[in-house]
Every structure is written in C-alpha cells, then in structure tokens.
C-alpha cells in the first residue's frame, strides 16, 4: 500500500561537509582568466598603436579600466574557488559553488548513467581534472566539477561505478527472489 506522509522536519543540506577543491585549483582558474585577458589587452594595445583616433579616445579609460577589471576578476576568482566544494556521500554527490548566487547541486548516484574525466593541457600540467556526471536522458553534463585532482576524479568515478554495479547486483537478486516467490505461489495455487 502506497503512503505519502508529510514531513514535520526537513533534512538540512547545510550540514553537508564539503571537501575543498585541489590546492592548484585557484592557480588553474587564475591562469585561465589570464589566458583570456592577455590577448584581449594585446589586441586593444595593437589597435591603439595603429589607430590614433581610437588611441586618443580610449587610451585613458583602457589604462585605468582594464587593470581594475583584471584585479577585480582575480580577487573574485580567489573567493569563488574557496567557496566551491564537493561531497561524496553514500547515495549521492553534492557540489557547492557561487559567491553572490550560491548553488548546491545534489545528484543521486542511482541517476548517474555515465561519467567522464576531462583534462585540458593546463589541467594536465597542474595535475587537475574535471569530472562530468551525466544522468538519464541528458545530452549535457548534469554536474561538472572542475578543479579536482586527477586522483580524486578517478576515485570518485570508481566509487560511482562500484555503486552502480552493487545496485545492479542487488536488483538482479531481488528479481530472482521475486521469481522464486511467484513460482512458489503458482504451484500452491495450482
């Protein structure tokens, strides 16, 4: 019989003990941002050198504005990386991120269809990786955790695979038991 009882107290997600990202996650994030900003600044400097009208108009705002934007971005990255964390629990994986808009994503392990470990050139150099988790019916990753050590990614992936194998074995055993019970009931009724 199906019952649906109302809960008086809800489980508290803020009790989750999140593990911080790898030590080099901040370095990776800062280098990624710099790899974006340096070419942008180089292009703007080139335009200023070859275009006097643009140089006269934009030189002062660019000389003041771009370094300020860069410093704010780098400071934001420090806070952002420190607030991120991951927690692998018995039946789910949780990921926390965000500075202004904080987000906690909890993905049940039973919903995970497959996992991917992604490593770009910079991540490989720093010993980092990104773990992408896909659930049923999704074309894109439901959870993308970057800034983990490559070993942590492999360990989490192995844990998820073992969880899935154990769950499938338990379901197979339950089906066998149900068939034995059904066969026993049919024989006693016949």
Q: Model confidence over 69-110: pLDDT tens digits?
A: 889 999 999 999 999 999 999 999 999 999 999 999 999 998
Ordered by start, the domain boundaries in the chain are 19-82, 85-178
Torsion of CA 42, 43, 46, 48, to 10 degrees: -110
Give ∠ CA 40-74-77 in degrees, rounded to 5. 120
Give the separation between CA 110 and CA 104, rounded to whole angstroms. 18
pLDDT tens per residue across span 110-154: 889 889 999 999 999 999 999 999 987 767 778 999 999 999 999
The answer to whether the Cα torsion of 42, 47, 49, 53 is positive or negative is: negative
Domain 85-178 falls under CATH 3.30.460? no
CB neighbours of residue 144 within 10 Å: 15
- Partners of 105 in the beta sheet? 95
Q: Which of 85, 84, 64 lies closest to 76 in space, CA to CA?
A: 84
What is the reported pTM?
Answer: 0.77
Per-residue pLDDT at 32: 92
Per-residue pLDDT at 149: 96
Give the separation between CA 22 and CA 29, rounded to whole angstroms. 11
């Amino acid at each position: 019989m199906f019952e649906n009882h109302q809960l008086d107290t809800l489980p508290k997600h803020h009790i989750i003990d999140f593990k911080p990202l790898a030590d080099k996650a901040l370095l990776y994030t800062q280098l990624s941002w710099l790899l974006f900003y340096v070419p942008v600044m180089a292009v703007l400097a080139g335009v200023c050198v070859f275009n006097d009208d643009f140089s006269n108009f934009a030189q002062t705002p660019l000389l003041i504005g771009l370094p300020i934007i860069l410093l704010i971005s780098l400071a934001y990255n420090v806070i952002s990386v420190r607030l991120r964390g991951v927690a692998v629990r018995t039946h789910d994986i949780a990921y926390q991120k965000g500075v202004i808009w904080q987000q906690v994503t909890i993905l049940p392990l039973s919903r995970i269809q497959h996992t991917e470990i992604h490593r770009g050139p910079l991540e490989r150099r720093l010993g980092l990786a990104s773990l992408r988790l896909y659930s049923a019916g999704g074309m894109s990753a439901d959870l993308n955790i970057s800034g983990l050590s490559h070993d942590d990614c492999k360990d989490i992936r192995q844990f998820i695979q073992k969880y899935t194998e154990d769950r499938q074995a338990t379901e197979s055993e339950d089906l066998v038991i149900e068939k034995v019970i059904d066969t026993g009931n049919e024989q006693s009724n016949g």
